[in-house]
Amino acid sequence: METVVLIILLLVSLSFILKLTFHRPAGVAVLSLLTMAFTVFMTESASSQSKTRIADWLSQPELMLDTSVVLTIDVAFQICFCILMASRLSGTLRGLQSILLEITLWIPGLLLFPTLYSMLVAIIFSMPGADFDTIGWISGAAVMTATPVLAYGLKFILPETDLRLELIFLINLLIATLGIVATVNGRTAATGTNNVEWQALAAIFAIIISGLCAGWIYFRVRNSKKINNI
């Protein structure tokens, strides 16, 4: 179960970074400051958590059902953004759709905040005895710095707007699928485990990265052939 949750959190982070590539510099700065403010503000709450309490949360089917509702709403917002942005790129965006696009563009993702909170808890667990406020401020500053760097780095690696949009769409479909897996936790015939299978997790990410690279190479080769034919 912890593996599924970890994958969802990583995919949410990737979706957020990809979405930032559609913002202007001012938008990237505002959302980066928002992530820092949330991280610093939640330091006191994160420092009061324990691994036992978190494990209990993950083992509660009712809580996972509530979380899946939030996840579904978040995925719906992100997919709505993808559809509206595709309409803008094709020149068919009209009237109210433009307003809806701006609204969905500025919604960073409801699951982004649990992701930041989980990251902060993990950092606090890994640094026993350190001052919690210091950890909070350093973590917040690191998140604020890394967010625009990763966003512009991805935009440099993937300059094609439509390709980044497709990635956001596919990532959120995968998040929705994993949300279904998390929802049925503890209610299937399979025996659950709290141990993280790091090799299996590494294999999953290797497959995802390989697919992304293969798709990117295929896209570039196809475009090169079109340009040559012209």
Mean pLDDT, to the nearest integer, of 153-173?
Answer: 88
The half-sphere exposure of 159 on its side-chain side, counting CA atoms within 13 A, is 3
Quote the percentage of the chain above a pLDDT of 90.
13
CA 131, CA 134: separation in Å to the nearest integer?
A: 5
Asked whether the beta carbons of 71 and 8 are under 8 A apart, the reply is: yes
Average pLDDT over the chain reads 81
Helix (H) or strand (E) holding 71: helix 61-90
Question: What is the per-residue DSSP string for 179-195?
Answer: HHHHHTTTSSSSPP--S
Lowest-pLDDT range of 80-89, 113-122, 186-195? 186-195
pLDDT at 101 over 80: yes
pLDDT at 149 over 90: yes
